[in-house]
Chains A and B, each alone.
Chain A
């Protein structure tokens, strides 16, 4: 079974500073990793994913994430935070394997990012 941990409930950064939202995972097999963002009273919005290839993946709104297999991590980053980035961020994992039909994407508990002006 797969699982995801987001060790920080809350991350606070000043506008213009770099931000990191942490995620570690546990999965048997090759992971498919995802980041989603949730704004108040809205559904989750897909940001980026890692399936295979380059460990650094780029996504929407200037976000990027780095897959680190040895540390089983997939931290979300942005070089310069905006106040509008304030939201709830979820990391998710599913098993990615040829012929494997596991559709149970597991989500972390979420990290609330607050960017202050």
Chain B
């Protein structure tokens, strides 16, 4: 297993377009997290899955954001009608248990122009 994989690495989109990011976690990890990181800030929690169930969703996640994890494997994060304020690094992480450190992917950098 090569770790957490995120695609694409970079995405440039025009304001108002929809974008979708993919995350492939470590196969043994049943917990998957999405975070958003802007320049000079630490990662901000967006949402959490345990297997295929989305158990938590931050208030930061507006109705334009949706995440899925079908079959408890990979996950997708979709942003509809993108805005310039959505420009950030979107990080995916996975873990096995609540006391475990997270394994992060390299992130998808979104630029909305």
Interface residues of A (CB under 8 A from B): 4, 32, 34, 36, 41-46, 48-49, 51, 90, 92, 94, 96, 101, 103-110
Name A49's contact: one of B48, B91, B101 (CB within 8 Å). Answer: B101
Of the A-B pairs whose beta carbons lie under 8 Å apart in the complex, a sample of 30, sorted by A's number, is A32-B99, A34-B101, A36-B102, A36-B104, A41-B106, A43-B6, A43-B104, A43-B105, A46-B102, A48-B101, A49-B99, A49-B100, A51-B99, A90-B42, A96-B98, A101-B98, A103-B31, A103-B33, A103-B45, A103-B98, A104-B45, A104-B56, A104-B58, A107-B43, A107-B44, A108-B42, A109-B41, A109-B42, A110-B40, A110-B41
Known interface pairs A43-B105, A44-B104, A46-B101. Does A107 touch B58 (Cβ–Cβ under 8 Å)?
A: no
Please determine whether A105 and B55 come into contact, CB atoms closer than 8 angstroms.
Answer: no
Which residue, A44, A45, A106, has most C-beta atoms of chain B within 10 A? A44
Q: How large is the interface on B (under 10, 10 to 19, 20 to 34, 35 or more residues)?
A: 20 to 34
**Residues of A contacting B99 with CB < 8 Å?**
32, 49, 51, 96
